[in-house]
Amino acid sequence: MKMNFVVYINGHEHYVARSAIAALRGRILDAVRAGGAFVNVTELAHTDSVELITPATPVRIEAAPEPITAHDDAISTDTAYYDLERWDPPEWLGPLSD
């Protein structure tokens, strides 16, 4: 069974293969014990990323809900697109916007 993992480091998502997760966990723990270090994160579809890991860095590792491949369209960078509508302030805020 092919299982991949999503690793969240300081708000960034990384898609990591099952074969690489144990080594990544070890590098993260070593960086925490050292008080901080840059850690290479080998991702499925991208070149390696580098994250600064400190004892205060939030890290979460979870199994992906379904297998992810390097050619999967669901894999994306941390870019988000939003379609924002025009917002008109309420009348009582009118004098502040001039």
Q: What is the pLDDT of residues 60-83, one digit of tens each?
A: 999 887 766 655 444 554 445 566
Q: Where are the domains of the chain?
A: 1-66
Give residue for tokens 């070149």. 47
Instruction: Give the pLDDT confidence of 14-66 residue by residue, as tens digits.
Output: 888 888 899 999 999 999 999 999 999 988 766 678 999 999 999 999 988 77
Quick one: pLDDT band at residue 2, thresholds 50, 70, 90?
A: low
Kindly report whether the global pTM for this prediction surpasses the value 0.85. Answer: no
Q: Which residues contact 52 (CB under 8 A, 6 or more apart)?
A: 10, 36, 37, 38, 39
The alpha-carbon radius of gyration of the chain (Å, integer) is 19
Instruction: Give the pLDDT confidence of 81-95 residue by residue, as tens digits.
Output: 566 677 676 777 666
